[in-house]
Structure 1
Amino acid sequence: MENLLRKIKECKICEKHIEPNPVVFANKKSKIIIVGQAPGTKVHQSGIPWDDASGKQLRKWLEVTDEQFYDTNNFGIIPMGFCYPGKGKSGDLPPRKECAPQWHQPLLKEMSNVQLIILIGMYAQNYYLKDKTKSTLTETVKAFEEYLPNYLVLPHPSPRNRFWLTKNPWFEKVVLPQLRGLVKELL
């Protein structure tokens, strides 16, 4: 596993397009895998996954401390794109398409203790759930129980999504209690 993580951190598969600085946190014993989009600018600079406002919100949703979250025996953090993809017109660009096909399967193969994969946002959900996703992210998240026990689907915890959260109060009433219960049970 250490050799694989080293290869990922040294990866330059996308260097023609962006400045590589792969961010991945995992080990053989990780129980819960978080598959998000890609690092933002702050994470790109710090090298610490979810080291931003979205990460604070995610830890709040999970009801875990920073220590629990960054303990790779608890959580493995495997983004769809391991490097910051750059700025787009309305936020960051989508994750690079090279990363997940190159690295996800080898990582998951090494991680025999995984009991839950949390898919954050449509990129992760489309990649892992394929044709089982609904027509919108909202519908996919509403149908979260269909994907259990292997996957739990979430919207992105970005502060930009506060309007989505306001429009969908069922998320905090229905999905978050289930998420927190599963996380508590697994940790």
Structure 2
Amino acid sequence: MLDDLLQQVRACRLCEENLPLGANPVIQASESAKLLIIGQAPGTRVHETSIPWNDPSGNRLREWLELDKETFYDSNQVAIMPMGLCYPGKGKSGDLPPRKECAPKWHQAVLEQLPNVGMTLLIGQYAQNYYLSDKPKTLTETVQQWQRWAPNYLPLPHPSPRNTLWLKKNPWFEAEVVPFIRDYVHQHLRS
């Protein structure tokens, strides 16, 4: 059933006329996945390769999780579903926000097929705004209050190199949150 759904997702052309590089929905999932990563939207490199988090942001994310590429890209362990499944295009300061059609169209159906997910990483404000109710106004405050939602949901800043300054200003994130995620992910993926 999930395989059929993933075929439908990957064939989606709902907003293709608004996508500068055309539609190429990128998703990774399996019914046995124990970790779900919900990010923003694929960048150009991910669009070109159809491999999620196949860029410098993905390198930092895998470093935070202490996962090698083999484990990270094993859909039996890690599911990856962005808020916008296709590359949205370039904006004034980085990529455009994820398309708004994707999450309402596909997320719930996919989530229903992922019964073993114990932790969902919500990367960036778009995922956090969609999945966390009654959250603070800023990303920093939301991430600071991560324990409110852990371990089911964990709000994270985007691991983009553009956020290096944020990480330097907020050393508590890599000192407190990253170790919790690593421990939980490694224990959960082993079980």
**Partner Cα distance (1:154, 1:134) in 2:** 14
| Aligned match of 1:67 | 70
1:133 Cα deviation after fit: 1.6
Q: Secondary structure of the equivalent of 1:110?
A: coil
| Aligned match of 2:171 | 169
1:53 Cα deviation after fit: 0.2
TM alignment of 1:20-169, pairs within 5 A: 20-130=23-133, 132-169=134-171
Q: Percent identity over the alignment?
A: 56
| Aligned match of 1:15 | 16
Matched residue count = 186
1:63 Cα deviation after fit: 0.4
The answer for unaligned runs of 5 or more in structure 1 is none
Give the AA of the match of 2:150. L
**Partner Cα distance (1:58, 1:141) in 2:** 15
The answer for unaligned runs of 5 or more in structure 2 is none
Q: Secondary structure of the equivalent of 1:176?
A: helix
Report runs of 4+ in structure 1 exceeding 6 Å deviation: none
Structure 2 residue 5 is the aligned partner of structure 1 residue 4: yes
Give the AA of the match of 1:109. E
**Partner Cα distance (2:84, 2:165) in 1:** 25
Q: Secondary structure of the equivalent of 2:30?
A: coil
1:149 Cα deviation after fit: 2.3
CA deviation string 1:19-63 (max 9, x = no partner): 111000001111110000000000000000000000000000000
Give the AA of the match of 1:160. R
Give the AA of the match of 1:103. W
1:123 Cα deviation after fit: 0.2
Give the AA of the match of 1:30. A
Give the AA of the match of 1:150. N
Give the AA of the match of 1:181. D
**Structure 2 length-normalised TM:** 0.96
**Partner Cα distance (2:60, 2:98) in 1:** 20
Give the AA of the match of 2:111. L
CA deviation string 1:77-104 (max 9, x = no partner): 0000000000000000000000000000
Q: Secondary structure of the equivalent of 1:16?
A: helix
Q: Secondary structure of the equivalent of 1:33?
A: strand
CA deviation string 1:63-88 (max 9, x = no partner): 01000100011110000000000000
